[in-house]
Amino acid sequence: MSPTAKRNKSIPAVPLRQLVLDALDELKAKDVRELDVRGKTSIADLLVIASGTSARHVKSIADEVVKFAKKAGAMPLGVEGEVEGEWVLVDLGDIIVHVMLPRIREFYGLERLWTVGDHETDEFIGEA
């Protein structure tokens, strides 16, 4: 168990993961991708990256993730970037959700950053 597992004990990671995916699907997030980062960092076990079509869409998607988590009793540890809406990060403890505009996502390349050296890259979960 990673050190972050102690940070948000109100709900197990598997149901929280599904809640995050449901929230992203609810607001039609694009290019949803999960990256298992266990063993690469102690900050989280899973990164979920998704795109929105506009700053307003990005903010709305992140708000939906927060709302779904709170309904399940998992209080977010932090939310960053809501004002600008180009990249919003929602820290749920073992899961960190990044919602970005496509150009920001391409520029920072988080998928490439976290999969360097992996033999297999994670599959896209799908587009809504």
pLDDT digits (tens, 9 = 90+) for 93-102: 999 999 999 9
The per-residue pLDDT for 116 is 60
Assigned CATH topology for domain 8-117: Beta Polymerase; domain 2 (3.30.460)
> What is the per-residue pLDDT across 1-48, written as a single tens digit (0 to 9) for each?
444 444 444 445 558 899 999 999 999 999 999 998 888 888 898 999
Domain extents in the chain: 8-117
The per-residue pLDDT for 13 is 53
Q: Is residue 79 within 8 Å of 91, Cβ to Cβ? A: yes
The per-residue pLDDT for 73 is 87
Structure-token match 């976290």, residue found: 114
> What is the per-residue pLDDT across 65-95, written as a single tens digit (0 to 9) for each?
999 999 888 899 999 999 999 999 999 999 9
Q: Is residue 62 within 8 Å of 90, Cβ to Cβ? A: yes
Beta strands at 46-51 and 95-100: parallel, antiparallel or unpaired: parallel
The per-residue pLDDT for 128 is 46
